[in-house]
Structure 1
Amino acid sequence: MAAGAPRIFVSHLSGVAVFDPTGDQVGRVRDLVVMLRVGRRPPRLLGLVVELSTRRRIFLPMTRVTSIESGEVITTGVLNVRRFEQRPTERLVFGELLDRRVTLVETGEEVTVLDLSVQQLPARRDWEIDRVFVRKGRKGGAFRRGRGETLTVEWSAVTGFSLEEHGQGAENLLATFEQLRPADLANVLHHLSPKRRAEVAAALDDDRLADVLEELPEDDQIEILGKLKGERAADVLEAMDPDDAADLLGELPVEEQERLLGLMQPADAADMRRLMSYEEHTAGGLMTTEPIVLRPDATVADALARVRNPDLSPALAAQVYVCRPPDETPTGKYLGTVHFQRLLRDPPYTLVSSLLDDDLQPLAPDAALPVVAGFFATYDMVAAPVVDEAGSLLGAVTVDDVLDHMLPEDWRETEFHLDEQAGVGPAAGPGVGPAAGPGVGPAAGPGVGPVAGPGIGPGKGAGAHGS
């Protein structure tokens, strides 16, 4: 990058695509790695944490960055694909510096860090953080207008970054991955430190946290749930898919299970107990108790209205199950299944009972995992009903539940194998190691603070920060 390059606010770098010299995308920026220095000297920017398409996070030294402009990062094309490991002397900008409470040296006033700017030093390849964008006033509410004066100050004008902070906020961190899918947000959460992970979990609403918990490794699930207050832990469990919540409850001590079940709504607690009564690797242990159930006199229009529910997974929305009342599992007699494609081919007034696919034998609750997997593979299904000996619909197994239990137990913590390809080489750099390290920051999302869009430098957002 040319000397005298414009200042870049780090919020503009969250999720930015990283390209090699030929224009092929190699990944996206997930965090920035800096090293704090003695006294009030600005931190040195060591490099970027880049997430590859395989979800592996690697370290990209700034010496391998040739350009940062127009919302993209260009590299020399030589990457070290070993997984990033944070070193004790390193700090992650998104994961550890944003939202921190620091003190203005001149007035002694506490302020909240909303953004930081980095700049390349003249005639050198070194980068450093030079300015801090902060908000005065009480903690929290960083994105609500009218909540305290904002200003940009030199790094040397604040103190407190080197101190361990308790109760660090999460508003700006959350904003950087607001649009992430639950699985991607879970990947972010997994790489944060336990302290930061607990703070972010506390800031998420119940539904969002429930979605994320379903995608986390078991140890992370137990850790986060254990740090939630009893009532909230029960609320989050109720918001989870019943089968996932039952799996999580099953990993807790019996006393803790009963305490949380006692805090849940009776109907939800009954579903949990029913699911926990089945062996884990059977159709009963895999199923959800909340498929779409319709009566025989329901119409195609009724079915499509239920399928449109945005809270349903694509697998559950792929078909509806027709049963005699009651409408909730365990229901009356199971009559058959109507697939989504069939619903699209018939008039809205058609009764679903006339469209039944009743040729396939439903799964028994004690069907073993290999039997369930074979059923899905043989009949190209994405969901299947689970019916007891009396003919009552107990629930439905979806293909994602089958995959979750067939993959290795640690599959959420590992990446797909990445073969060396052209342009990927053995370049080494700081912050690289063979093992996963805590504290990796947020993934793609909107910029932090009042910076709008992916623009870089004073022409695209720097002016909004002031100076």
Structure 2
Amino acid sequence: MFGPDGESIGKIRDLVAGLRADRQPPRVLGLVVELATRRRIFVPMLRVTSIEASAVTLATGSVNLRHFSQRPNEVLVLGELLDAQVTIEASGAVANVVDVGMEQIRTRDSVLGRVAVRERTGRLSRRGPIQVLRWEEVLGPGVLELTGQPQDAHQLLAVYETMRAADVAAHLHDLPTKRRYEVADALDDERLADVIEELPDEDQKDLLGHLDDERAADILETMDPDDAADLLAELDELEKDRLLELMEPEESAPVRRLLEYSSHTAGGLMTPEPIVLTPDATIAEALARVRNPDLTPALASMVFVCRPPSETPTGRYLGCVHIQRLLREPPSDLVAGAVDKELASLRPDALLSDVTRYFAAYNLVCAPIVDDQDHLLGAVTVDDVLDHLLPEGWRETTWQESHPEAADA
């Protein structure tokens, strides 16, 4: 979405339509727009001057920056209509909504005039043909009950495929509870774990509570151990112990170790799975490890050299090698020759304030956590530090609260 002068305002995440009790198509009320700060606002259709294939342009004027809040009898097109189960009036066949067409009528209002549906065949291996029908040919008189019907999530998941986990989490947070659960049930474990890591604490607990115990344990196993530990720490003792028991021992062991530390210490902030190499590893091996796409940029910025064993807690910690140094050395050289032995390490009981000063003093985005016996326990990354420095509930903090001087834009 762009303003009248071509300035970027944000990304369109959904359409809001007003449901009607009669058989007339719902009127499109406006757009849900996500600002760069991930805050979602409502922009009325009256403000829209043009709609192109890749952009929407607004007319001159102010935009209310209040957080979008769905009202009764409003429906989110992506969040609630997509994948909804409907009946084709002419044939009585049950179908799912796969797309919705918006069109302008004589009053210059935009309505959801057409619906693309696919019949349910009852066979997983076969999919019915897509039909494009008028709204009144599909929904019938029970339109206001639409959002109470069970929905698939295949079309919405297709939309999510191109979005970052943090953006999916923001969209999921704004969905009605029923729809949120349906989407969570349809996501695979790895994707759901990534999304849960980006949700506010209350949403994390709510979704974990919705899942059956076996799947909840699987999700915790898939999450980064430090994020899993943070989530478990929010649960009551009985629920936490039950889920830990259901996890595989090798997956629960690092989480249990993290739970021994206070959440505002280096031990509570660290991940127990940094890149660890033995001294006889080559620079080429180290570069191959940091290329792992599953690593965050911060965690990939540094490798740690230790005596065996290489699993944390490791053998004797020898030092670290920064990625810039790896890029400057011949690939056949050993990492032992590039180790930075002078960089101080953090103790697991170091307070958050000490960790913050450490990052500022050494201009780092990753730091080693070493115990009194020189065993590497893990690493703290700057994103986890920021997570704990920001106010509680920062993921839900409104853009206006962060920028009180801006009421409109």
Which band: TM-score by shorter chain? over 0.9
Question: Do structure 1's residue 81 and structure 2's residue 61 form an aligned pair?
Answer: no
Residue 139 of structure 1 and its aligned partner are, at CA, apart by: 6.9
1:117 paired with 2:101, answer yes
Q: Which residue of 2 aligns with 1:9?
A: none
Determine whether 1:30 maps to 2:13. yes
| Alpha-carbon distance between aligned partners in 2 of 1:93 and 1:33, rounded to the nearest angstrom | 6
**How big is the shift at 1:37?**
1.5
- Residue 167 of structure 1 and its aligned partner are, at CA, apart by 3.1
Aligned to 1:162: 144
1:448 corresponding residue in structure 2: none
Aligned counterpart for 1:385 among listed residues 349, 365, 368: 368
Asked whether 1:317 is paired with 2:293, we answer no
Q: Which amino acid aligns with 1:168?
A: Q
TM-superposition CA deviations, 1:71-117 (whole Å, max 9, x none): 22111132222222111121111111110000111221110000111
Say which of 392, 395, 401 aligns to 1:412: 395
Counterpart position of 2:218? 235
- Aligned pairs for 1:125-274 (under 5 A) are 125-138=108-121, 147-159=127-139, 160-163=142-145, 164-274=147-257
Q: Which amino acid aligns with 1:370?
A: S
> Which segments of 5 or more consecutive residues in structure 1 lack a partner in the other structure?
1-17, 426-467
Aligned 8 A contact 2:73 2:144 in 1: no
Tell me how far 1:36 sits from its aligned partner: 1.4
Post-superposition offset of 1:325: 0.3
Out of 12, 25, 34, the residue aligned to residue 42 of structure 1 is 25
1:108 pairs with 92, 100, 106, which one?
Answer: 92
- Residue-pair matches, total: 403
Q: Secondary structure at the match of 1:162?
A: helix
Contact 1:115/1:133, CA 8 A, preserved across alignment:
yes
Instruction: Answer whether contact 1:54 1:418 (CA < 8 A) is retained.
Output: no
* C-alpha displacement of 1:165: 3.1
Q: Residue 133 of structure 1 contacts residue 153 of structure 1 at CA under 8 Å; is this kept in 2?
A: yes
2:264 maps to 1:281: yes
CA distance in structure 1 between the partners assigned to 2:122 and 2:27 by the alignment? 27
Aligned residue for 2:333? 350
Q: Which range moved further: 72-81 or 125-134?
A: 72-81
Query: What's the offset of the Cα at 1:59?
Result: 1.5
Shift of 1:418: 4.2
Partners of 1:267 and 1:399 lie apart in 2 by: 26
**C-alpha deviation, 1:166, in angstroms:** 4.3
- More helix per residue: 2
Query: TM-score when scaled to structure 1?
Result: 0.83
Read off the aligned partner of 1:198 and give its amino acid letter: Y
Paired residue type of 1:158: V
- 8 Å CA contact 1:55–1:415 kept in 2: the answer is no
Gaps of at least 5 residues in structure 2 are: none
Deviates further, 387-396 or 146-155: 146-155
User: Is this contact kept in 2: 1:140–1:171, CA < 8 A?
Assistant: no
Contact 1:63 1:125 in 2 (8 A): no
- Considering Cα pairs closer than 8 Å and 6+ residues apart, tell me whether 1 or 2 has the greater RCO: 1
When normalised by structure 2's length, the TM-score is 0.95
Matched position secondary structure for 2:144: coil
Whole-Å separation in 2 of the counterparts to 1:420 and 1:63: 26
Where 2:168 maps in the other structure, the secondary structure is helix
Out of 57, 66, 71, the position equivalent to 2:54 is 71
Letter in 1 for 2:214: E
Contact 2:20-2:143 at 8 Å conserved across structures: no
Aligned-pair CA distance for 1:138: 3.9
